[in-house]
């Protein structure tokens, strides 16, 4: 034991432990019975360089030695977390080192641990997510609500990464001064392959102008292990006054604040002509084939804009789907038009009917469609949806879903 301890002390003096990971440090501490403060000293001597992430997969984070800086102290707790992230290599290395920080500036602690980054041109943002056990449904794959929540999360993280506010969904300085917020007017999601529990999904997002009163945000989802496109989505957002709850035109001042972070030439997640995201949704005629009446918002359904979050409407729409379709099919495409806010004391009716006419659906390979005729007798089914206030019958939301045969 004494010989082994002397040998490891010698190796330390020669600097072999520069760039040591937390895992190695703990092993060394356990084997040699070093005092714990010696391990801290070793960890504090490492500073972590900015991560470089390639599209084909994660890389191993690197460390370099430096003398501790008085102007930029590293707190022990941060060192442990950063070192732990550095210790994961190979295919496990989806978590990368946090960049350096300086006192009074730099990135926030949460942002340094987040698995996201702006692309080199600064016009789009990518982030990796691990599918958790509580995010999957009965098929052990992520639910569409999980996908929608991740889209919203990566969009907000993109906005924060370029300096927009954290007290609203991507509000600029001018918007906060004028009490303006963004609200969803349309959401279109297509899932070609649902990620399973434990899969890592890479989501890329970007935004761009959309007319005088709105903006557009698009997403592309990939399986990080294979690089294949497993989904795409697009959305339209309009500006609303937070106090009057009335829509407002996007001013030139607001455009100047956010368009600098948008592609100068249009970039669309669905560049194909006559793609499903552009189709008008016909209003469902009453009586509906299926219904679920008297749905009530939960407190957890409300977001920071003081209304029911847009993802909740997806769940309400699916509540009136017939169980025999849920058992034999999986959701491929969902399109929702948001017409009215829902407040805490509202009751909601969910109506669903099968859409009778034949439709053109896409047989997709790696996210790109080739058109093929399908009808209700095929493996694909299409439904219209309508959400209304129970008391007045006023329209809240209308939607369309497309379902493919479930392969077990």
Q: What is the pLDDT of residues 185-202, one digit of tens each?
A: 999 999 999 999 999 999
Backbone angles phi, psi at 237, to 5 degrees: -125, 140
**Is residue 403 pLDDT above 60, yes or no?**
yes
Apex 200 CA angle, 194 and 204, nearest 5: 85
341: left (phi over 0), alpha (psi -120 to 50) or beta: beta
DSSP string, 7-75: HHHHHHHTTTTTT--HHHHHHHHHHHT--HHHHHHHHHTEEEPPP--BTTB-----EEE-PPPSSS---
Residue identified by tokens 């009808």 is 375
Cβ 155 vs Cβ 217: under 8 Å: yes
Q: What is the pLDDT of residue 162?
A: 86
Rounded Cα gap, residues 281 and 401, in angstroms: 10
Between 216 and 174, whose confidence is greater? 216
**pLDDT > 90 in the chain, percent:** 42
**Is residue 81 pLDDT above 50, yes or no?**
no
Q: What is the pLDDT of residues 18-75, one digit of tens each?
A: 444 444 444 444 444 445 444 444 444 444 444 343 334 443 333 333 333 333 443 4
What contacts 184, CB < 8 A, 6 or more positions away?
235, 236, 237, 310, 338
**Six-digit token pair at 223?**
């399986």
What contacts 7, CB < 8 A, 6 or more positions away?
none
Active-site annotation, residues: 305, 307, 342
Strands (E), 192-283: 200-209, 214-223, 229-241, 247-248
Residue identified by tokens 């969803």 is 184
Rounded Cα gap, residues 309 and 406, in angstroms: 29
**Is residue 101 pLDDT above 50, yes or no?**
no
Is the pTM for the entire model greater than 0.75? Answer: no
Q: What is the pLDDT of residue 209?
A: 86
Cβ 239 vs Cβ 175: under 8 Å: yes
Rounded Cα gap, residues 228 and 364, in angstroms: 12
The mean of the pLDDT values for the chain is 76
Among the ranges given (142-146, 272-276, 296-300, 319-323), the one the predictor scored with the smallest mean pLDDT: 272-276
Backbone angles phi, psi at 158, to 5 degrees: -60, -45
**Is residue 379 pLDDT above 90, yes or no?**
no
Q: What is the pLDDT of residue 86?
A: 40
**Six-digit token pair at 367?**
């996210």
Among the ranges given (80-94, 280-294, 384-398), the one the predictor scored with the smallest mean pLDDT: 80-94
């Amino acid at each position: 034991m004494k010989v082994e301890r002397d040998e490891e002390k010698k190796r330390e003096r020669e600097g072999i432990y520069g760039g040591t990971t937390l895992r190695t440090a703990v092993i060394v501490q356990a084997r040699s019975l070093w005092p714990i403060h010696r391990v801290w000293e070793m960890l504090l001597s490492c500073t972590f360089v900015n991560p470089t992430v390639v599209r084909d997969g994660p890389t191993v984070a690197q460390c370099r030695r430096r003398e501790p800086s008085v102007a930029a102290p590293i707190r022990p707790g941060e060192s442990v977390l950063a070192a732990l992230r550095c210790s994961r290599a190979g295919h496990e290395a989806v978590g990368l080192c946090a960049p350096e920080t300086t006192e009074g500036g730099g990135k926030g602690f949460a942002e340094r641990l987040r698995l996201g980054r702006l692309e080199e041109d600064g016009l789009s943002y990518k982030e990796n997510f691990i599918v958790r056990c509580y995010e999957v449904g009965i098929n052990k794959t992520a639910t569409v609500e999980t996908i929608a929540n991740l889209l919203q999360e990566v969009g907000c993280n993109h906005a924060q990464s370029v300096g927009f506010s954290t007290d609203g969904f991507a509000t600029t300085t001018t918007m906060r001064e004028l009490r303006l917020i963004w609200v969803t007017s349309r959401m279109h999601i297509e899932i070609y392959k649902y990620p399973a529990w434990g899969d890592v999904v890479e989501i890329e997002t970007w935004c761009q102008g959309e007319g005088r009163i709105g903006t557009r945000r698009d997403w592309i989802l990939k399986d990080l292990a294979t690089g294949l496109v497993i989904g795409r989505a697009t959305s339209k957002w309009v500006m609303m006054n937070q106090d009057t709850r009335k829509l407002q035109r996007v001013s030139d001042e607001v455009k100047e604040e956010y368009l600098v972070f948008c592609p100068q030439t249009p970039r669309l997640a669905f560049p194909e002509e006559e793609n499903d995201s552009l189709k008008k949704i016909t209003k469902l005629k009453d009586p509906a084939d299926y219904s679920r009446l008297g749905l009530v918002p939960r407190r957890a359904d409300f977001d920071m804009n003081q209304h029911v979050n847009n993802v909740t409407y997806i769940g309400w729409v699916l509540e009136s789907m017939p169980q025999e379709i849920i058992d034999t099919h999986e959701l491929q495409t969902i399109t929702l038009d948001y017409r009215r806010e829902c407040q805490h004391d509202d009751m909601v009716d969910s109506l669903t009917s099968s859409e009778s006419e034949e439709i053109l659906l896409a047989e997709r390979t790696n996210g790109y469609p080739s058109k093929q005729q399908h009808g209700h007798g095929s493996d694909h089914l299409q439904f219209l949806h309508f959400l209304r206030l129970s008391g007045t019958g006023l329209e809240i939301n209308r939607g369309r879903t497309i379902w493919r045969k479930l392969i077990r």
